[in-house]
Amino acid sequence: MKISKSVLQAVAVAVTVAALTTACTDNAVGPNGEKTSKTKTLDNCPACGMG
């Protein structure tokens, strides 16, 4: 499906900023692309039954 260029660019910037913030082990991405401090590290999904 085609996604608008502006949305894709915003996602790209956000995840790039998050990826560069290596001092933080958190995977969650904050409102401005920064890693959030509230979120715990995401681990295996508990919804998976055998996780």
10-29 residues in contact with another protein (CB under 8 A) are 10-15, 18-19, 27-29
Give least dist CB 20 to another protein, A.
10
The residue with tokens 């890693």 is 35
Task: Say whether residue 42 binds another protein (CB under 8 A).
Answer: yes
The residue with tokens 């979120």 is 39
| Helices and strands per DSSP (H, E), number in the chain | 1, 0
Residue 23 or residue 48: which is nearer to another protein going by CB?
A: 48
Contacts for 45 with CB less than 8 Å, ≥ 6 apart: 51
Q: Which residues bind another protein (CB under 8 A)?
A: 1-4, 7-8, 10-15, 18-19, 27-33, 35-36, 38-51
